[in-house]
Structure 1
Amino acid sequence: MASEIRPARANGSRKALIGVCDFDGILRGKHVLSEDVSAEDAIIKFSEAVLAWDCSDRVIPAHFGQELPSVFGDADLRVLSATARPVPTSHDRYLYLAEFAGAHESICPRGVLRKVLRRAADHGYSCTAGFEFEFMLFNESTETIHKKPYDQWVPLTRGPFGYSVARTLASNELFEALLAFCDNARLPLAGLHFETGPGVIEASLRHCDALEAADRAVLFKSMVKSWAQTRGMMVTFMAKVSENWPGQSGHIHISMSSNGQNAFYDSEASRNISGIMNQFVGGQLKYMNDFCVLAAPNVNSYKRLLPGYWAPTCPSWGVDNRSCAVRVIPGNKSAHRLEYRLSGADVNPYLALACAIGSGILGIEEKAVLATPVVGDASDERDPAFERLPQNLAEATFRFAQSPKASDVFGGRFVKAFSRSRRWEWEAVQHRVSDCERERYFEAI
């Protein structure tokens, strides 16, 4: 996409910023000369170490397995020219997304999503998706955030006040700046509002082709963090910042089409839920526990999945029921869709979407039978048919690693590599002594 490069050159810049997503959904990258990526889908070299680092840049020890790189040489990186977009905080720069190619493609998060979407296409389906992210804004800088205990961090607003028009109007300059930032970065939003919780904002990215939707989600998370820092603020997409506050979700809206028609919509069916949609949702529920780690990838993720917070506690579905893991949203043929509510704001968008669509495609292949929808609060379900979700990262990782269907859908090498990274993530946190432990045990024990 040479035409995307010319504005940067016209401003005197010969640099382009390349970004590739690691297992944790972190966008890693570097500046390169723009002429090196001007060719369509150019291949450049990039350190394979990012596929063996955790989120704090610690190398995952070799004894956790050898499915990840161990020599840390260069890997092939395919620069995706069609993803080029201006960086609003740097007007003479263009950012390009990239994906690992060659020997590393099978463990590349974007490559895994493409694999799942090809499987859907083989059945004649194309997928549309849109991400919603809740994130928390703090009136803290990169300096002050590390000098204070977390309970002294100052959020943008005090206390919960979801959908507040008063707060929105009071923060009009901030909202206008964020909307303009996203528009300039080609990350169009369908909605922006205050959510319940101090300083919590929810942004709904406009729906589009599934792969593009995941690209936008990855870029949104990284760019909003940088946007906030240029304003002397900090953003977090943690699933749960404090036990005293609600968690932060990363819901995904999904629909599928076949021959130009919404495959989830049937005007003759109850609630317009087609047989394909029944099977798709049935597959999502059937494999939700086995694939859970892709939508809840961190130790902190499972502290969000509690009763009373509009977060799922078991594989459940309902019609316009926000307490369920899958919410079917009836509408006309252009709006009829589902909302996958398992994922938190801390997800890797490529992997969370691969989880949601991959399990649904398995449901179609297996002609899964969908149980009766939940009416009322799904977290109150006592039906033995509703198996609880994994209770922690270790349990979820074990189920994923042992699942033959996970290897079938996502690839055996990826399952081994990602499971290795999650086992390390679990171990890295288990030996840390928390403030909660000190407060609870110091004097009494």
Structure 2
Amino acid sequence: MATRVPKEHPALAAIRKSGASKVKVAVSDIDGILRGKYLHRDKFYGAADSGFGFCDVVFGWDAHDNCYDNTTVTGWQHGFPDALARLDLNTHRQVPWDGNVNFFLGEFINADGSPFPVCPRQTLKRVLKRAEKLGVQPMTGMEFEWFNFVETPQSWAEKRGVAPTPLTPGMFGYSLLRMADNRPFFNALMDEMLAFGVPIEGLHTETGPGVYEAAIAFSDALEQADRAILFKTGAREIGKRYGIMPSFMAKWNQQYPGCSGHLHQSLSDGKKNLFYDAKSPRSMSKLFESYLAGQVACLMEFAPMFWPTINSYKRLVDGFWAPVKPTWGLDNRTASFRVIAGSPKATRLETRCPGADVNPYLAAAALIAAGLHGVEKGLKLTAPPITGTNQGADNVPRAPRTLIETTRNFRESAIARDWLGDTFVDHFAATREWEWRQWQDAVTDWELKRYFEII
């Protein structure tokens, strides 16, 4: 009997056929920044087969490459060795703005092939594996708001981080006129992101100078997180062609609304939306109610995963659109959890807490874990919906206003440890504590303006 030769993955076959000389690969660090490199085609084929070494410093330093002094998984004490990165061949796409170079996302594994415990993509996959055991498939869609500036890295460095120039003036949401001011950039986002495998359902201007909002097409949760992290990087790379610097900071200016990273969610059995129930007065299934009850009850225990920076908490201002209490409402944009209940296809939950500064893998992992906790425990939705602007939320505690408060809660959370593992919780909490200490040591322009002359 002839030996059957395993069929080569279509992505590999396509690259061999094209004769491409190089491939681009990337992995997510803790902050959701893509760290990557080009690989020669021969190196790539080996990496595709058995993985490749990638310095584990990507989990041992912050957004500005300063090494943490309080982590144990990686650090100076280990000498920053290579960790094993594995490419996900199903993430294959070509980069339209980089000569259509072939591109893959990767994730980290241990030597025995098990998931590397602090890898963000693996953290989301851990949650999704537990969802699979429950017989459900989380489906998600992310929305990002972000400001755009007429800056380059050089001009921004010369300004020393002060007074960036917005792309357009004024507060002009849903403006066709402002879209026309930078039509080539606007169209490039729509067209090139689609060619990159990141389809955008809608793109429009938001309220604020130079601010846009994009909604990424709904998909399974892992694919959505991949699309989201690629969108943020891709928008920055496309912007460079036009002298535009996008910023996904949660709140860049006290005068203007912050930037959200809303996450829409539903659960599927592979055929239908399990959140919909035509017999329910609200069209909400009991499963949907338990999922929502889980988020209402314990989402704040995961807060550093969707409010990950010092700046995240500047967005949580009363009356500025960002919800500040764990409340839910029926099609109410002032609530943290907006229930959109109607047709079998469209019924879903929009969690409005996260900002645009999230690591998409970690934000999705946190939200889905909180919801599935409610499903596992069969939680009842006892909290009534709010109406208007937080009407009915008088006795609901406000969200913490600092990263260190949420980090301490996260570190002590038995639910977070159950879903994410002790190693991840301890490591991520340490990275947020580091971030807090950097802020504590900083002397800001606010302090200079307030105290320099007078005190």
- What does residue range 336-415 of structure 1 map to in structure 2 within 5 Å? 336-370=347-381, 371-378=383-390, 382-384=393-395, 386-415=396-425
Q: Secondary structure at the match of 1:235?
A: strand
Q: Secondary structure at the match of 1:134?
A: strand
How far 1:171 moved relative to its partner?
3.1
Higher mean displacement: 38-47 or 410-419: 38-47
Correspondence 1:272 to 2:275? no
Q: Secondary structure at the match of 2:105?
A: strand
Correspondence 1:282 to 2:293? yes
- What does residue range 199-238 of structure 1 map to in structure 2 within 5 Å? 199-238=210-249
CA distances 1:264-304 after superposition (whole Å, capped 9, x unpaired): 11001022011111110110111122111111001000011
Match of 1:17 in 2: 24
Match of 2:165 in 1: 154
Match of 1:430 in 2: 440
**Distance in 1, Cα, partners of 2:245 & 2:200:** 20
CA contact (8 A) 1:292 1:390 kept: no
How far 1:173 moved relative to its partner?
2.6
Correspondence 1:98 to 2:80? no
Please report the TM-score for the alignment, with normalisation by the length of structure 2. 0.93
CA contact (8 A) 1:250 1:346 kept: yes
Letter in 1 for 2:388: G
Higher mean displacement: 168-177 or 137-146: 168-177
CA distances 1:168-211 after superposition (whole Å, capped 9, x unpaired): 23433322122121012111110000011111011111011110
Match of 2:4 in 1: none
- Percent identity, aligned pairs only, is 40
RMSD: 1.8
**Distance in 2, Cα, partners of 1:13 & 1:121:** 37
CA distances 1:104-141 after superposition (whole Å, capped 9, x unpaired): 61111111100101111111101111111111111111
**Distance in 2, Cα, partners of 1:155 & 1:73:** 42
**Distance in 2, Cα, partners of 1:383 & 1:344:** 24
**Distance in 1, Cα, partners of 2:320 & 2:73:** 37
Structure 1: stretches of 5+ with no match in the other structure:
none
Q: Secondary structure at the match of 1:262?
A: coil
**Distance in 2, Cα, partners of 1:122 & 1:32:** 37
How far 1:36 moved relative to its partner?
3.4
**Distance in 2, Cα, partners of 1:365 & 1:440:** 51
Correspondence 1:4 to 2:14? no
**Distance in 1, Cα, partners of 2:330 & 2:302:** 23
How far 1:10 moved relative to its partner?
6.7
Please report the TM-score for the alignment, with normalisation by the length of structure 1. 0.95
Task: Tell me the matched-pair count.
Answer: 441
Match of 1:308 in 2: 319
Residue number among 56, 59, 68 corresponding to 1:60 in the alignment: 68
CA distances 1:236-268 after superposition (whole Å, capped 9, x unpaired): 110011111110000011110126221111001
Q: Secondary structure at the match of 1:390?
A: coil
CA contact (8 A) 2:146 2:248 kept: yes
CA distances 1:211-249 after superposition (whole Å, capped 9, x unpaired): 000011111111111111122221111001111111000
Residues 318 and 41 of structure 1, relative CA distance in 2, 3 Å threshold: farther
Higher mean displacement: 367-376 or 49-58: 367-376
Match of 2:328 in 1: 317
Q: Secondary structure at the match of 2:167?
A: coil
Higher mean displacement: 120-129 or 163-172: 163-172
Residue number among 194, 206, 210 corresponding to 1:183 in the alignment: 194
Q: Secondary structure at the match of 1:132?
A: strand
Residues 2 and 278 of structure 1, relative CA distance in 2, 3 Å threshold: closer
Letter in 2 for 1:376: G
Letter in 1 for 2:418: D
Structure 2: stretches of 5+ with no match in the other structure:
1-7
**Distance in 2, Cα, partners of 1:95 & 1:157:** 33
Match of 2:41 in 1: 34
Q: Secondary structure at the match of 1:396?
A: helix
